[in-house]
Amino acid sequence: MTRLVRPYGDTQNDGKVQLSFTLPLQWSEAADEAARQLVAKMGFADVQVADGRPIADGFSFFVVYAATPQSVDADAIEAPSASSHAMSLEEIDAFVHERIGRKIRVAGACIGTDAHTVGIDAILNMKGYKGDYGLERYREFETFNLGSQVAVEELAAYAKERRIDALLASQAVTQKGSDIKNFTALGELLEAEGVRDNIVLICGGPRVTNLLASELGYDAGFGRGTLPSQVAAYIAITLASRFRSGGAHW
């Protein structure tokens, strides 16, 4: 069954969208008209240039409201979240103790030239994030935080040598697709080293989605506002099922 949805202004399916952008044009009524025509060309109907003004010599800024004829089928969208199974620290530790019977070895780092460690630290450090303790606080996790600007080669080697169960890679800088490049490189290296299957491979960062992660061949991806316990639960459950199903693991 399909369920087409459109943007909602004040009435079902009115398709109302707000846009803003800069044009490299000196402001004038003609510039407003250029903005109107541009948005019309984008396929919008009912284009209203609510505001157009000069912001510098040769540059004008516009705020536009318009209606889009496009819609998406909400029921056709596949984007399973990796944060679905909520468990508490205690529950997770108990779960791991029972189903896995040994500590899970987790390593994390901010890879490439990226020095943004606050995100990965929020997941790994004792302190945690928004009152949710980090993995270091879990009895059943043994955590290694490699810090920032870690080369993917280094991380892959480390994972192999230390027989890491779950590998956590972080990227905050996304300029020129540097995040995608680094994530991909890491995945390929682990494949090459023949250890990919033994590892629950996870990426994260403000721009990461679980969908993107699977496209990159990762087991899971976590984005904005992730809580450590969501990651811990995912790791525990995924690994447990691998153990049960006799899937690959160290």
Partner 1 sequence: MRLNVDAASVVRCRELAAAIVAPVQAFIAQHSTVSVERTVLRLLGVDGITPQEIPLPNAVVDALSPQDRARGVAPAFGRALAETGLEPQALVESLAAEGYDLSRFANAPEAAARGALEPYVRRGLDSIVAQREERDARLARLPQLPPPLLYVIVASGNIYEDRTAAVAAAQAGAQVIAVIRSTGQSLLDFVPYGPTTEGFGGTYATQANFAIVRAALDDASERLGRYVMLTNYASGLCMPEIAAMAALERLDMLLNDSMYGILFRDINMKRTFVDQHFSRMLNAYSGIIINTGEDNYLTTADAVDQAPAVLASQFINEEFAHRAGLPDDQIGLGDAYEIDPDQQDSLLFQIAQAQLAREIFPQAALKYMPPTKHMTGDIFKGHLVDALFNLTSVVTGQTIHLCGMPTEAIHTPFLGDRALSLENARYVMNAARHLGDEIAPRPGGTIERRAQTVLASCESLLERVASLGLMHAIEEAVFADVSRAPESGRGLDGVFARAPGYWNPFADALTPAQAESRR
Positions marked active-site: 127
66-74, 84-92, 198-206, 238-246 -> range binding ligand B12 (CB under 6 A):
198-206
Residue position matching structure tokens 């803003």: 20
Q: Is the dihedral of CA 175, 180, 185, 187 positive or negative?
A: positive
Contacts with a copy of itself, 184-213, as mask; x by CB under 8 A: -----------------------x-xxx--
Smallest gap, in angstroms, from Cβ of residue 247 to ligand B12?
A: 21
Q: By CB under 6 A, tell whether 112 contacts ligand B12.
A: no
| Residues between 66 and 125 with contacts to a copy of itself, criterion CB under 8 A | 68, 70-72, 74, 77-81
Instruction: Specify whether the CB–CB gap between 138 and 107 falls below 8 A.
Output: no
Quote the least distance from Cβ 178 to a copy of itself, whole Å.
14
On whether the CB atoms of residues 187 and 196 are closer than 8 A, the answer is yes
Should residue 16 be labelled a site residue for a copy of itself when binding is judged by CB under 8 A? yes
**Whole-number minimum distance, CB 93 to partner 1, in Å?**
26
Candidates 1, 2, 22, 166; binder of a copy of itself (CB under 8 A) is 22
Judge contact between 130 and 163, C-beta under 8 A: no
> Residue 204 forms beta bridges with which residues?
170, 222
Residue 182 interacts with, from partner 1, a copy of itself, ligand B12, none (CB under 5-8 Å by kind): none
- In whole angstroms, the minimum distance from the beta carbon of 166 to partner 1 comes to 25
Applying CB under 8 A, the residues found at the interface with partner 1 are: 8-12, 16, 18, 20-22, 48-53, 55-57, 59, 61, 63, 65, 113, 115, 117-118, 173, 175-176, 178, 206, 224
Q: Is 47 helix (H, G, I), strand (E, B) or coil?
A: strand
Give the three-state DSSP class for 93: helix
Cα–Cα distance, 155 to 208 (Å, whole number): 19
Report the partner that residue 33 touches, choosing among a copy of itself, ligand B12, partner 1, none (CB closer than 5 to 8 A by kind): a copy of itself
Coil/strand/helix, residue 139? coil
Give the β-pairing of 4-5 and 72-73: antiparallel
Q: Count CA atoms closer than 13 A to 21's CA, side-chain side.
A: 15
Q: Of 21 and 250, which CB lies nearer to a copy of itself in the complex structure?
A: 21
